[in-house]
Chains A and B, each alone.
Chain A
Amino acid sequence: KAGVTQTPRYLIKTRGQQVTLSCSPISGHRSVSWYQQTPGQGLQFLFEYFSETQRNKGNFPGRFSGRQFSNSRSEMNVSTLELGDSALYLCASSESGTREETQYFGPGTRLLVL
């Protein structure tokens, strides 16, 4: 099976703009989680979706939002970008969304905000 894919891989934006990132899970996987990775804070959980429903949300401001489509593909959106949003954004998928399943990560989207 093909692995988790993310598009775009690299993105440069300016402060105040908005951005949409896409994640395609492994075929058959129904749960998608999003993480922000920065050198200072490490990997931080953003949110998790299963069957188009957000089941969990991390401690990020409302500028960060997401959604999941019926084919399990997921998008996350960041509005009114700030310099501190520069990071590697990773998504991970798991098969049936049960609590102790392995999460498989995508390659990430590296976002630079100028």
Chain B
Amino acid sequence: GENVEQHPSTLSVQEGDSAVIKCTYSDSASNYFPWYKQELGKRPQLIIDIRSNVGEKKDQRIAVTLNKTAKHFSLHITETQPEDSAVYFCAVLGGSNYKLTFGKGTLLTVNP
């Protein structure tokens, strides 16, 4: 089955700095890659997603890049703010099924 590795597991940055989280996957047929943010005690919420026919997607301070050849994708958050502090999960949709496989998560802490 699909294997998704996410790094780092924890990330601490100063307010205003950038944060980058990386994920690798194993199924070369996978073609949908969402990122979810989960604040403490709350449900995961989609923040951005990318499909395999696109190399990069941006939404204000958040961007995702995808390298299908190398089978990795990354989340970039610029000008971080304290409210960005949360756990971020990458996910990969299997190439031939409806199953989302998640990374183990990255705890991002933005220090004021």
- A residues engaging B (CB < 8 A)? 4, 31, 33, 35, 41-45, 48, 50, 55-56, 58-59, 90, 97, 99-100, 102-108
User: Do the beta carbons of A105 and B44 come within 8 Å of each other?
Assistant: yes
3 closest A-B pairs by CB = A43-B102, A100-B32, A105-B43
The reply on B112 being an interface residue by CB < 8 A is no
Q: With A100-B32, A103-B46, A105-B45 known to touch, is A42 a contact of B104 (CB < 8 Å)?
A: yes
Is the beta-carbon distance between B101 and A45 smaller than 8 angstroms? yes
* Distance between Cα atoms of A106 and B45 in the complex (Å): 10
Flag if A33 contacts B44 (CB, 8 Å).
no
- Using a CB–CB cutoff of 8 Å, the interface residues on chain B facing chain A are 1, 31-32, 34, 36, 42-46, 49, 51, 89, 91, 93, 97-105
**16 residue pairs from A and B, CB less than 8 Å apart:** A4-B43, A31-B98, A33-B98, A43-B44, A43-B89, A45-B101, A55-B98, A56-B97, A58-B99, A90-B43, A99-B32, A102-B34, A102-B46, A102-B49, A107-B42, A107-B43
Complex Cα distance, B102 from A108, in Å, reads 17
